[in-house]
Structure 1
Amino acid sequence: MLKNQNPKITIYDVASEADVSLATVSRVLNYPEKVKPETRERVLDAINRLGYRPNAIARGLASRKSTTVALIVPDTSRASVAEMINGVADIARKYDYSVLLKVTNSEEDTEREVWQEVLASQVDGILYLNDEITDENIKQVESAMVPVVLCNTKDDLNRAPSVSIDFEESFYRATKTFVEKGKKDILLVSTRRAYSVNAMKERGFTRAMDEAGLEPKIIRTSGRISVNYDYFTDYLNENKPEAAIVVRDSIAVSFINAASNLGINVPEELEVLGFQNTKASKMSRPTLSSIDNPIYDIGAVSMRLLTKLMNEEAIDDTNVVLPHNIVWRNSTK
């Protein structure tokens, strides 16, 4: 029995008092047998001294039958994120899982707070989407104390389970296609922010251009239309590439609009290829050719992989690479 229970004391206070992570406190509350005896005793002593009283949900976790999975994403406004959530939700529904959605807005401080909230919620597993996987992100994954799967992204060193396509290979093959069509002045349009997935795409592009003995031209701009449209207009006033491969469909549409308003005919004078094959690719004029990233399948397979990890099932490969293809539309010949 806890002495002097104080409802104002939180799990954060317990973690600080015991000098352990939130995940460790959660594990002591729910899976004490998996915590080292000395650490477990330190946490229990802190709980008793502070009079910490877990909420009703936390008290029932040890005996509950339901499973809760957290889905951490940077932004819900992206069409690709929405499609991935659909894939996750459909599989979660089959297993009767509850899904806790958390949005980080790609801000470092916010993301750290979101991870703390998720771990304090004592979820059974985490699905994590972030275009930029850093060493700090991997530390968060490794210290989570519950299974974590990277969705539609990956760590270059395969330090965490993941489900994605081969980003480097997709851009390598796309670039090779333009080279084989006789294009020599090929441009890669990437982002100013150094997302790790875009670095992989740039590597694939550069490799294909180097193999062909061509100069790999890369420009980087903002994902915001209010910024990149003017940048593209200035660039195309001075440069006339034969083809452009763009790291995101929405940016590719902005690139096409800038070219069209300058009187550059797409695709006769300039061919444009996007990435993701989102709704934006079908709504642009001309319609946008795009590397099809099977985002719904990525969400569904990620949820299946996380389920296996939570159930401690045997898994042949924790880094799943799904196939991709190119959907050709009217922005290319």
Structure 2
Amino acid sequence: MKKKVTIYDVAEAADVSLATVSRVINGSNVVKPATRERVLETIKRLDFKPNQIARGLATSKTTTIAVVFPQSLFGHVKDMIGGIGDTGRTLDFNIIMYTTDELGLGNPIEEVIEKVIKSRADGVVLFNNNCIDKEIDLIKKYRIPAVVVGYKISDEDICSVYVDAKSIAYDMTKQFIEQGKKDICFVRATQNLVDLNDFAKGIEEAFKDSGVTLPEDYIVDVSNHYEESYPQLKEYFDTHKHDVVLTGYDKEAVAVVNAAIDHGINVPEDMQVVGMMDTSYATICRPPLTTIHVPVYDMGAIAIRLLTKILNHEEIDEAEVPMHYTFIKRDTTK
């Protein structure tokens, strides 16, 4: 299948900004003749078909905010939608949501950013995922004001709301080590709202500071989808059993609990399990899941408020906002 040529491709090939391509398409007279010719030649060579995206680079505000997240993270962000929507309505901003599909053809990230521009959104909310660095590079390139949820970053017209995954992992690991539980495993999914690299660093630092050797291969990578992670973990438990399993999200923790029990591993007597986020997965789990409560509604609300401050040129006290978290003890830990 032939890849669809986008305005992003034209800008890259002509070595100009997306705004310059838009001005050429609109017939603006502020573009230098040589640059105009180069852009027009590129449009012809790439067989680019201009559409309303040329009008997407609006010069006036539309009071619209775009929210972009991978489909595989929907379970993580759905509880934030209330905070996003309520705050948007309170501040008289419209919210448009876009999803990226990492399994799709072409280059979905660029295509979604084009849709954001086409929608004439004033700013965008992004969510931490395994392509977040690329997404941030794109919004910087096109100078789109943004707030990133779940990933600590600040820059010109960029703020963030995040959970200190490193501190969470460090504190939990240190506590378990002090209880004599030194065989600790981290089940890591491919996509997560929490920065799982920081989570792993927290585990590693806790072992180092405790003077205890970190188990080899302590990270087990699994799918985001339960129907795939459960059989992966069931096979894993054929040859493994740990004192403690930490996870980056409740859904993975439920898969751990179910796979362990189906292998005759008693939870929490033989193995303790901790989830993350305190979602509905934690309460429907049997036994009920010990987890880290994160105020996801508030994260969504704060993200929108931060973005409107950027858009309205208001003073921002803290560009990187850490969210408080709480350890919720239930029945998968002793």
TM bucket (normalised to shorter chain) is 0.7 to 0.9
2:274 is aligned with 1:294: no
Give the deviation of 1:139 after TM superposition.
Answer: 1.5
Give the equivalent residue in structure 1 for 2:66: 70
CA contact under 8 A between 1:288 and 1:330: conserved in structure 2? yes
Give the equivalent residue in structure 1 for 2:3: none
Gaps of 5+ in 1: 1-9
Give the equivalent residue in structure 2 for 1:7: none
How many residues are matched?
315
- Distance in 2 (CA, whole Å) between partners of 1:298 and 1:94 is 16
CA contact under 8 A between 1:76 and 1:103: conserved in structure 2? no
Give the deviation of 1:325 after TM superposition.
Answer: 1.5
CA contact under 8 A between 1:11 and 1:120: conserved in structure 2? no
- Percent identity over paired residues: 33
- Distance in 2 (CA, whole Å) between partners of 1:174 and 1:23 is 48
SS of equivalent residue, structure 1 residue 286: coil
Give the deviation of 1:106 after TM superposition.
Answer: 3.2
Give the deviation of 1:292 after TM superposition.
Answer: 1.6
CA contact under 8 A between 1:129 and 1:151: conserved in structure 2? yes
Give the deviation of 1:196 after TM superposition.
Answer: 8.4
Residue 68 and residue 192 in structure 1: after superposition, are their counterparts in 2 closer, same or farther (change >3 A)? closer
SS of equivalent residue, structure 1 residue 307: helix
Residue 12 and residue 168 in structure 1: after superposition, are their counterparts in 2 closer, same or farther (change >3 A)? closer
- Distance in 2 (CA, whole Å) between partners of 1:228 and 1:116 is 33
CA contact under 8 A between 1:192 and 1:220: conserved in structure 2? yes
Q: Which amino acid aligns with 1:197?
A: D
CA deviation map 1:136-163 (0-9, x unaligned): 33321212323111112234x8684211
CA contact under 8 A between 1:87 and 1:299: conserved in structure 2? yes
- Distance in 1 (CA, whole Å) between partners of 2:119 and 2:98 is 12
SS of equivalent residue, structure 2 residue 206: helix
RMSD: 3.7
CA contact under 8 A between 1:186 and 1:241: conserved in structure 2? yes
CA deviation map 1:235-259 (0-9, x unaligned): 2232221111011211110110011
2:167 is aligned with 1:166: no
Q: Which moved more, 1:128-137 or 1:294-303?
A: 128-137
What TM-score do the two structures reach when normalised by structure 2? 0.80
Q: Which moved more, 1:310-319 or 1:102-111?
A: 102-111
Equivalent residue runs for 1:126-165 within 5 Å:
126-133=124-131, 135-155=133-153, 160-165=158-163
Q: Which moved more, 1:283-292 or 1:159-168?
A: 159-168
CA contact under 8 A between 2:130 and 2:191: conserved in structure 1? no
CA contact under 8 A between 2:151 and 2:162: conserved in structure 1? yes
SS of equivalent residue, structure 1 residue 84: helix
Residue 25 and residue 148 in structure 1: after superposition, are their counterparts in 2 closer, same or farther (change >3 A)? farther
Q: Which moved more, 1:253-262 or 1:115-124?
A: 115-124
- Distance in 1 (CA, whole Å) between partners of 2:72 and 2:55 is 28
CA contact under 8 A between 1:71 and 1:99: conserved in structure 2? yes
What TM-score do the two structures reach when normalised by structure 1? 0.81
- Distance in 2 (CA, whole Å) between partners of 1:41 and 1:240 is 67
- Distance in 1 (CA, whole Å) between partners of 2:332 and 2:126 is 33
Q: Which amino acid aligns with 2:281?
A: A
Give the deviation of 1:131 after TM superposition.
Answer: 1.7
2:330 is aligned with 1:329: yes
Q: 1:81 aligns with which of 69, 77, 80?
A: 77
Give the deviation of 1:270 after TM superposition.
Answer: 0.9
Give the deviation of 1:26 after TM superposition.
Answer: 6.3
CA contact under 8 A between 2:151 and 2:195: conserved in structure 1? yes
- Distance in 2 (CA, whole Å) between partners of 1:59 and 1:139 is 19
SS of equivalent residue, structure 1 residue 190: strand
Give the equivalent residue in structure 2 for 1:239: 240
- Distance in 2 (CA, whole Å) between partners of 1:255 and 1:181 is 22
